[in-house]
């Protein structure tokens, strides 16, 4: 997307970096707007087409991994004790569909945000005599990197959210109600409430009172949270 759009925008300039006139088609500003509109439409359509298929494939894989992880976490202490994790309950189906829908919406927002960012720079370069092609090219590359990082962050964040949601629901289906909060860290600005709650017990159906707004949240629920949990298995 970014290379294709960058090449299209740079076609507004000649080999020396000077603006082409486009007099026969209404001028360079109109030509630039037309290019941006066409590319935005093309890439919006592409993301709309592939997003749901890709996200569904990812969530299906996460569901399989979650089943394996939960089965391993509550591995029977004795041969006669078994806990089944195979049933796809209505609650699991809701989590699956919600995870797919949220992932699709976020992925589909990537091209719109990218073109919103580059449009202003393109028009300023065309209309401002002091703006240069070199500066525009540098900014286009920067916005491309930002879009790539955003897509990567979305994928990682949604993967963690869906995985932890599946884990909680499957453990709840198996009658496991409590967990130990695990603060994994690894971020530049860790949430202090999450860090302070590390190692403490919480209700898998309610969450822990460590939300940014003071409410109850689950591990990985808040944006870019990497926390996880360990199930507490009790035998009476």
Higher pLDDT, 75 or 32: 32
pLDDT tens by residue, 38-88: 999 989 888 888 887 878 787 777 777 776 666 665 555 444 444 454 556
The yes-or-no verdict on residue 34 having pLDDT over 80 is: yes
The yes-or-no verdict on residue 186 having pLDDT over 80 is: no
Q: Write down the domain spans for the chain.
A: 2-175, 177-236
Helix, strand, coil share (%) of the chain residues, nearest 5:
60, 10, 30
DSSP for 125-160 reads HHH-TT--HHHHHHHHHHHHHHHHHHHHHHHHHHHH
Residue with the two structure tokens 């391993």: 72
CA pair distance 135, 6, nearest whole angstrom:
13
* The pLDDT of residue 81: 43
Confidence (pTM)? 0.66
Residue with the two structure tokens 């590319």: 39
The yes-or-no verdict on residue 119 having pLDDT over 50 is: yes
Check if the beta carbon of residue 207 is closer than 8 Å to that of residue 218.
yes
């Amino acid at each position: 997307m970014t290379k294709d759009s960058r090449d299209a925008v740079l076609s507004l300039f000649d080999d020396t970096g000077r603006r082409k006139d486009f007099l026969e088609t209404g001028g360079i500003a109109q030509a630039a707007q037309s290019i941006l509109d066409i590319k935005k439409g093309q890439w919006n359509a592409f993301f709309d087409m592939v997003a749901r298929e890709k996200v569904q494939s990812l969530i299906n894989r996460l569901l399989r991994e979650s089943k394996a992880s939960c089965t391993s976490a509550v591995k029977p202490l004795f041969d006669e004790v078994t806990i089944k994790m195979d049933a796809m309950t209505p609650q699991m189906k809701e989590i699956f569909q919600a995870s797919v829908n949220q992932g699709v919406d976020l992925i589909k927002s990537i091209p719109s945000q990218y073109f919103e960012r580059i449009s202003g720079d393109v028009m300023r370069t065309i209309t401002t005599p002091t703006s240069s092609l070199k500066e525009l090219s540098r900014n286009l590359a920067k916005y491309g990197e930002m879009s790539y990082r955003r897509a990567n962050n979305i994928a990682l964040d949604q993967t963690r959210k869906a995985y932890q949601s599946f884990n909680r629901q499957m453990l709840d289906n198996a009658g496991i109600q409590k967990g130990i909060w695990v603060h994994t860290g690894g971020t530049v600005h860790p949430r202090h409430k999450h860090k302070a709650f590390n190692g403490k017990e919480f209700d898998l159906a309610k969450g822990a009172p460590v939300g940014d707004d003071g409410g109850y949240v689950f591990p990985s629920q808040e944006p870019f949270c990497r926390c996880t949990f360990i199930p507490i298995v009790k035998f009476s």
